[in-house]
Amino acid sequence: MTVVRSASTALYALALEGQRFCCPRLQQGLVVRLLFIGDVFGRPGRTIVQRLLPQLKAELRPTVVVANAENATHGTGMTRSAFEELSTAGVDIFTGGNHTLGKPEILDLMQEHPSVLCPGNVSPAIRRHGFVIWQTPDGPIAVVNVMGQYCMNGVDNPFRYMEEILCEPEIGAVRVKIVDFHAEATAEKAVMLRLLDGRMSAVLGTHTHVPTADARVTAAGTAFITDVGMTGVRSSIIGLDPEVMMRRFETGIMYAPRVAEGDATLMAVVVDIDASTGSSTSITLLQRDH
């Protein structure tokens, strides 16, 4: 586990054994702690979240738990049953990406639960489901979901979308603001950081399912990582069965993908944010196998 940047007074006492960390109880009203779980992939991803999240919440005492769940059901979309499993385990807010609309019932879920998001730049009809204001004892938190354009179809410009979102009065009134930028290109994610640096508490990348080693907090107080990684079978091909994917690449025949089976890894980041300013003080990479 790597602490990328710590506050002036240590927030974490890290123990190397088992990659676990022990957190003192946060003083309410001073620090908002975000636990953000990377793309939850299929049943193995849901299972490890169900197994580990209650324990992680007891250890870390996060203010809010966000999970990207666009691959939660068979690697494409999220059904009601998958939502209920993850919600019961302790996920507060669900972000998405290019597979969010893979299950038709997601539209009903978004209507019933404002905490279920879809990238707001997918279509005008989805725009209002692109963010949520989440109320906590330490004040409101804005969580925004947006998707990149590179290698994505039918997506409006994400940079213009973010400028419009930041002009929303209800977003502007919130100090702590987090965005899940679901995008393919590392450069596109870096540009988003430049656009939002100092304006958002955290810019967290998802979609590629491969965690990056560039987590940091900028001088302006924005926590950033190009990609949080995937919560699923680590020995897979981005969550899919390796044998099927090998046949697809070797032959060019588009065999139906299949979710990999096996032991899963939970990949996440923990971000601590000054509640009074909205500036992040630290971002911590977290990977847990058991």
Which is the catalytic residue, given 74, 99, 129, 290?
99
- Residues within the annotated binding site? 39, 70-71, 98, 182, 207, 209
The two three-digit tokens of residue 28, written as one number: 């309410």
pLDDT given at position 10: 32
- Tell whether 19 is covered by a domain: no
Per the annotation, binding residues for Fe cation are 39, 70-71, 98, 182, 207, 209
The more confident residue out of 15 and 41 is 41
**What tens digit of pLDDT does each residue of 158-198 get?**
999 999 999 999 999 999 999 999 999 999 999 999 999 99
Residue 82 to residue 72: CA distance in whole angstroms: 7
For helices 186-196 and 158-166, angle between their N-to-C axes, nearest 10 degrees: 20
Q: Beta strand pairing status for 176-182 and 202-206?
A: parallel
Residue 224, domain extent: 31-289
Average of per-residue pLDDT values in the chain: 89
Q: What share of the chain is helix, strand, coil (3-state, %, to 5)?
A: 25, 30, 45
Q: Which residue's structure tokens are 């939850």?
A: 40
Domains of the chain: total: 1
Residue 17 in any domain: the answer is no
Q: Does 281 reside within a domain?
A: yes
Residue type for 132, please? V
- CATH code for the domain of 84: 3.60.21.10
Q: Please indicate, yes or no, if residue 25 is contained in any of the structural domains.
A: no
DSSP code at position 73:
T
pLDDT category of residue 28 using cuts at 50, 70 and 90: low
pLDDT at 29: 57
pLDDT of 8: 30
Residue with tokens 């994610």: 189
Beta strands at 139-147 and 131-136: parallel, antiparallel or unpaired: antiparallel
The answer to whether position 189 is within a domain reads yes
Residue found by looking up tokens 């019932």 in the block: 105
| 178: Cα within 13 Å, side-chain hemisphere | 35
pLDDT single digits (tens) 79-94: 999 999 999 999 999 9
Q: List, for residues 70-80, the tens digit of each pLDDT value.
A: 999 999 999 99
For residue 56, is it within any domain? Answer: yes
Report yes or no on 212 lying in a domain: yes
Distances (CA, A) of 229 to 12, 24, 41: 22, 27, 11
What pLDDT, on the 0 to 100 scale, is given for residue 27? 52
In the predicted structure, residue 278 carries a pLDDT above the cut 80: yes
Q: Would 198 be classed as within a structural domain? A: yes
Mean pLDDT of 4-15: 33
129 is catalytic: no
